[in-house]
Amino acid sequence: MPDPWNPTGFRAHIDSVLRDFLAEEGGRLVAVDEALAPVAQQVRSSAGHGKRLRAAFCYWGWRAAGQPESEALVRAAASMELVHAAAIVHDDLIDDSALRHGLPTAHVALEAVLDRDGRPGARAAARSLAMLVGDHLMVLAGRLFTSSGLPAAYLARARDLWAALARELIAGECLELLHTGGPPDTGTSLKVVRYKTAKYTVEHPLLIGGLLAGAAPALRDTYRAYGLPLGEAFQLRDDLLGLFGDPERTGKAALDDLRARRPTALLAETWKAADASQRDRLRCLLDRDDLDPAHLWDVRRLMVELKAPQRVEQMIATRVERAVRALDAAGTPPHARRALRELALQATDRAY
């Protein structure tokens, strides 16, 4: 990559690294037995989409610390996208989501293969296979990271944080499950956001890049001050898009969050502002087993009536402002500040 920051070129480079790596790993699965071909296909395709934001944050954690262009670092940064791919496969399985990026999710695609082959119990088997695909992607993330070509001493600097990334991601997923269906609460929702998505999307990739580069403690503090609020803003935007976005643009079914009763900040803010009759109305809608687009419009109207989307928009704006302001701290090079400001907008300024 001759241009030090060409977002389109960087994304294409990450895509290429992942495509080649997963093609090789998928081939190793099929070499065990041809019957594993559908599983190998899901391993290859599950990481085939996305803006590659996590890789970009890792890259800039490295570059902002004064390190030069490095193919080995790009490979290590690409491993962040495999963590994300693993999380998506598990998340879609937990929520029983049918679409992701406009395509069948891993468990749905595997069920179609098993149905075609006349396999008894296709749905249960497909869900189990998808769980294993997600597990394997997480293992492959670690393999790509450790085989990136960076010196062992560099990799050792990030070992503890890599473990924290996995632990906190799992903690966030568990917290979401534990609070699903419970009384909506904004504080609880924001804690789920923080651990399930925010940290592994921005803060941890930035810090891992910085640790690999030997970043000074003050710069790592800047990464934290930028990364956590921006990661929270990213997920808050995702929650808004999940309910109010156009499925043709988001690639996901708009009813997924409601059907799963996810404890989002948007739902919590709606509940907090609602009076007793509005809460009864909302509860009746959420308790339905036959949610359809008409019910989605009913929920949207109530949320807009109570100004919940506006309050979540304000949460996003406040967090983005806090993140960008953190970049003014001493020690952040001008070219890194520019790139990280651009990434902040890319992560949170997404259209409905």
Neighbour tally for 12: CB within 10 Å: 13
Q: What percentage of the chain carries pLDDT values higher than 70?
A: 98
pLDDT digits (tens, 9 = 90+) for 292-319: 888 889 999 999 999 999 999 999 999 9
pLDDT score for 4: 61
Determine the straight-line distance between the first and last CA of the chain, rounded to whole angstroms: 32
Instruction: Give the integer Cα–Cα distance in Å for 180 and 173.
Output: 11
Residue 33 C-alpha from the chain's centroid: 32
Average of pLDDT values for 79-103?
92
From the list 171, 17, 39, 34, the residue with the least C-alpha distance to 109 is 39
- Structure confidence at residue 2 as a pLDDT band (50, 70, 90): very low
Q: Which tokens go with 116?
A: 């075609």
Q: Domain residues of the chain, as ranges?
A: 7-348
The pTM of the full predicted model, rounded to 2 decimals, is 0.93
CATH of domain 7-348: 1.10.600.10
Three-state secondary structure call for residue 329: coil
- Cα-based torsion angle of the residue sequence 157, 163, 165, 170 in order, rounded to the nearest 10 degrees: 180
Whether pLDDT at 1 is above 60: no
Asked if pLDDT for residue 254 goes beyond 90, the answer is no
